[in-house]
Amino acid sequence: MTQYGNEASLKLLHKIHNKHMVHFLQELIFNRCFTLHNGKDTSNRHPLKNGVPQGSVLAPLLFNIYTSDLPLTTSKKYMYADNITLMITGKNFKNLEQGLTKDLTTMNAYFHKWRLKLNITKTVSSTFHFTNKLTKTTLNVKCGTKSILFKSHSKYLGVTLDLTLTYKTHLTQLVAKVQACNNLLC
């Protein structure tokens, strides 16, 4: 097992005090292989070097254990399975930008250390407020040298969030989906 594997095992032992269960989980995580099939051709077996079995009911639990030592940030963190959201409040956009950029830098250093990868294409920033004159204001948040996309209507766990959190956009989209399904049935 690699140095990284030993450190990951220590994380498991810190949360799960049964060495037999930790050994079982190590086997599940570290001793996996894959082959590729293309028609009648099959590749040699290759070891998987990281990650958990996708779709496994244990994957979210193992991710929570693995990330239970996330670093402190100014932002509050909200997690669901492998989805982490940072939320920060403030009185002006400059402070929000600086706080989120600093926190993303902190989180990205943690991810790098523990061989996790931030999906920059799925990472967005949004603002929620009731001031009409600020509706066109966007955030300039960065993660390292990369700018984070700003969206006025972002999606979180399948729910579209709008500027004032009225859920009007989400409900409009939901009505359209229901009507489309209803039309198929009629």
Looking from the CA of 174 toward its CB, the CA atoms found within 13 Å total 9
Please give the pLDDT value at position 76: 94
Residue length of the chain: 186
Alpha helices for 67-167 (secondary structure H): 93-113
Closest of 123, 119, 165 to residue 141, by C-alpha: 123
Please give the pLDDT value at position 99: 93
List of long-range contacts for 5-10, beta carbons under 8 Å, 24+ apart: 5/30, 8/66, 8/114
Please give the pLDDT value at position 2: 52
Please give the pLDDT value at position 90: 87
The Cα 36–Cα 42 span in angstroms is 6
Block means of pLDDT (10 residues each) for the chain, length 186 residues? 63 82 79 86 84 78 87 93 88 90 93 88 85 77 88 85 84 89 79
Please give the pLDDT value at position 60: 85
Please give the pLDDT value at position 5: 60
pTM score:
0.75
* Residue 165 C-alpha from the chain's centroid: 21
The Cα 183–Cα 186 span in angstroms is 5
Please give the pLDDT value at position 30: 74
The Cα 50–Cα 62 span in angstroms is 13
Longest dimension (CA), the chain: 62
